[in-house]
Structure 1
Amino acid sequence: MNLRQIEAFRAVMVAGTVTQAGAMLHISQPAVSRLIGDLERAIRFTLFDRRRGRLVPTTEGKSLFREVEKAFVGMDHIADAAQAIGALRRGHLSIVAIPILAHGFLPHIIAEFLKRYPDVSIHLETVQSTPTVVEWIASQQYDLGLGVLPVEDPAITARPFSRRKALCILPAGHRLASKPAVHAADLEGEYFISMQKGSVFRFRVDDMFEKAGVRRKLRVETSTRQAACDMVAAGIGIAIVGPLFARDVTERHVILRPLEPAIFLEHGVLFPAFNPPSLVTERFAELIVKYTDRHFPNDR
C-alpha cells in the first residue's frame, strides 16, 4: 500500500466516478483503476462493487474512507501551514541591537515590515554594546542582531548595511554653528559629552582627539545617544554621535555638523553562522538594507 493508491481511492470516493477521479489526479482512467486494484490486493478486501460499469463503495470501503479523510484533513492543515509560513502569514522574529539602532532606526523598519507581514510577531531587545550582541547571536538566543562592524567571530555571519560618517552635535547658537564642518582642533577646551568607555565608537573618538593633540573637558559620560543629544540641547556641552542617530535629533534644538577628520562607522546585521536564517529573518534583513539605501546612503 502506498500514498498514490490511497489518493486514487479517495479521489474515486470524492468524485464518484473513475473518470472524474482521473481528472482530479491528472492521470488516465485506466491508471486510476489499476491503483484501486493494487490497493485492494494489498489490503485483501474489496473497496468497491462493480455494478453496470460503476464503482459502488462497499461497507469496508466506506469505513476505510472515514479513516483516510481524517488523515487528509491533517495533510490539508499541514499544507495550509506550509503555505502560511512561506507567505510570512505567521512567524516570530527576535532581534537584539545596540541603542543607536534600536531606538532611532529600527522602529521605522519594524513598522514597514509589519505593514507587509502583519501576522509576524517581533521581540526587540536592547543591549549596551556590540560584544553583547555578538555573544547573544553566537549562542543563538536571538535570530538577528545589529551592531558595529567589524565583528571577528567564527560563530557570526555579518552583513554590512551602512557605512557613514559620525557627526558633531552643537547647542543652538554655539560659536561653531556657522562653520560648514567642525574640525578636531575647533573643540580644544570645549566641554564634551562622551559615550561610555568600552565601546568601539568611544575608542575611535578618543583616538582621533589624541592624534590631533586636542584636549577636551570631559564633563559628562553617558551610555545612550539620546541622553547625549538632550544634554547638548540643554547647553551642557558638545557631543559626537554615530550617523544613524542624526535623523532623530533634528527636532531637539541642536545643530549637526560634519566632523573632520572623518570617523566612519559601519553597521551590520549579524546572524548565527551555523544556523541558516529563517524566511522571516531573511526578509527583515533585506528590508534593513533597502531602507538604509533609501534614507541613509553610504558616505564616501
Structure 2
Amino acid sequence: MHARATLRAIMRLRHIEVFQAVMETGSMSAAARLIHLTQSAVSRSIANAELQLGYPLFHRAGGRLVPTTEGLALFEESSAIFERLESLKRTAHNLKSGEQGLLRIAAIPAVCHKLLPDALARFHRTHPNVIVQVHTVHKRQIATELLTRAVDVGFDHYTISHPGLQSRPVGTGPLLAMLPARHARTVSDGISAKALIALLSSLPVIALTDDDPLYMAFLRYCEHQGFRPNGQILVQTSQLAEELVARELGWTVVDFRTAAMRRKDVVVTPLQPYVECPMNAFFAKNHSPTLLARRMVDTVKAVLKEGTSA
C-alpha cells in the first residue's frame, strides 16, 4: 500500500489535523487554541494516534515538546494529506456559499442574446469563481436539457408543458411589434389598435418558426383580432428577424427585453390590445435547484425589473 494510503488507514483525519497543529505550534496548549479544542482533547488525540501507530510522536526535552524521528517523518508525509483536507473544506464551504462551482444554463436565442449578457455580467461580479456554461437552444430542447441534467436552469418566454418541469416567473412585460425606423413618427404619435393592425396588414411580416413562443402568442393575438399576417420570410431566431426589419424587409414581433435594447434603425410599439409576455425560469421537478441556479434566477429578475421600469 502507498505510504499516504497507509497513513490515512492508521491515523484518522482528526488525528492528522491535531498532529499538524502540534507540530506547527510546538505545544499542546497552542495547538488547542489554534484548532479550537481543549488541551486535554489534543493530548488524548495524540495519545490515540501514538497507540494506533505503535510508537511515540513526541518526547519531552527540557520542558519542551520535541518530535521524534518518526514524528518528523510522519509530519512530512501527512502535510500533503492535511493540505488536501483543508482544500476539501474550502471547496465544501465555497460550494455551500455559492462562491465557486459550475452553473449550466439553457435558454432560447432571444434570451441568450438580449438578456443573459447583462445578467451574466452582474452575476460574474458577485461570483467571479463560478464557471458558467450557456446552452443556446430552441424551446423544445430546454426540457430535454433539464431532464437529462445537462443544465441546472432554463429560461424561456411563456410556459413549457412537461410534467417533469416546474417553472418560476422572473418577469413580465408587453409583446411588441418591431417596424423599420421610417414608421417612427406614426407609432410615436400614439397609434390606435385599429390603425396599428391596418399598418401591420400593409407590411410583410418576418415570421418566426412555429415553435417560437413569441410567434405562437402573436398568432393567437392575430386570431382574436381577425388579422392574418402575410410574409415570405421565415426565420428561426428573433435576432435575424430584427436585422431584416432594420433593412426594411418587413416587421416582426419581439419581447419587452428586446424592445428595451434601443437601436436607431427600428421602432417598437406594444400590440393592442395588450398582450402579456412573461419570462420564466424552469427546473427539473425531481431535482432541487442548486444554490447557484437560484441566485442566477434572482439576478435575472433584478435585471428584468430594472429594464422594465427604466
Amino acid at match of 1:268: N
Deviations 1:133-158 (A, max 9, x none): 22222222222211122223232232
Amino acid at match of 1:150: T
The answer on 1:25 being equivalent to 2:38 is no
2:279 alignment counterpart:
267
Q: Aligned-pair distance for 1:7?
A: 3.6
For residues 238 and 44 of structure 1, do their structure 2 counterparts lie closer, same or farther at Cα, with a shift above 3 Å needed? closer
1:223 alignment counterpart:
236
1:201 alignment counterpart:
214
Asked if the contact 2:60/2:66 (under 8 Å) is kept, the reply is yes
Amino acid at match of 1:118: P
Q: Aligned-pair distance for 1:84?
A: 4.6
For residues 203 and 15 of structure 1, do their structure 2 counterparts lie closer, same or farther at Cα, with a shift above 3 Å needed? closer
Asked if the contact 2:257/2:304 (under 8 Å) is kept, the reply is no
Asked if the contact 1:182/1:257 (under 8 Å) is kept, the reply is no
Give the TM-score normalised by the residue count of structure 2.
0.82
The gaps in structure 2 that reach 5 residues or longer are 1-10
Amino acid at match of 1:294: E
Q: Aligned-pair distance for 1:288?
A: 0.7
Asked if the contact 1:182/1:258 (under 8 Å) is kept, the reply is no
Q: Distance in 2 between matches of 1:114 and 1:156?
A: 27
Amino acid at match of 1:146: F
Q: Aligned-pair distance for 1:83?
A: 4.5
Q: Distance in 2 between matches of 1:8 and 1:206?
A: 70
Q: Distance in 2 between matches of 1:171 and 1:117?
A: 40
Q: Aligned-pair distance for 1:102?
A: 1.2
Q: Distance in 1 between matches of 2:106 and 2:15?
A: 50
Q: Distance in 2 between matches of 1:5 and 1:216?
A: 76
The structure 2 residue matched to 1:157, chosen from 166, 169, 172, is 166
For residues 54 and 157 of structure 1, do their structure 2 counterparts lie closer, same or farther at Cα, with a shift above 3 Å needed? same
Q: Aligned-pair distance for 1:101?
A: 0.9
1:64 alignment counterpart:
74
The answer on 1:290 being equivalent to 2:299 is no
Amino acid at match of 1:163: T
The structure 2 residue matched to 1:257, chosen from 228, 251, 269, is 269
Higher helix share: 2
Q: Distance in 1 between matches of 2:112 and 2:242?
A: 16
For residues 271 and 201 of structure 1, do their structure 2 counterparts lie closer, same or farther at Cα, with a shift above 3 Å needed? same
Amino acid at match of 1:135: T
Q: Distance in 1 between matches of 2:127 and 2:67?
A: 46
2:6 alignment counterpart:
none
Amino acid at match of 1:226: Q
Q: Distance in 1 between matches of 2:195 and 2:250?
A: 16
Q: Secondary structure at the match of 1:120?
A: strand
Asked if the contact 1:181/1:259 (under 8 Å) is kept, the reply is no
The Cα RMSD (Å) is 2.8
Give the TM-score normalised by the residue count of structure 1.
0.84
Deviations 1:26-60 (A, max 9, x none): 33434433333333333332233334543332223
* Further displaced range: 167-176 or 66-75: 167-176
Q: Percent identity?
A: 28
The answer on 1:136 being equivalent to 2:145 is yes
For residues 13 and 172 of structure 1, do their structure 2 counterparts lie closer, same or farther at Cα, with a shift above 3 Å needed? closer
Q: Distance in 1 between matches of 2:269 and 2:285?
A: 38
The answer on 1:94 being equivalent to 2:104 is yes
For residues 221 and 252 of structure 1, do their structure 2 counterparts lie closer, same or farther at Cα, with a shift above 3 Å needed? farther
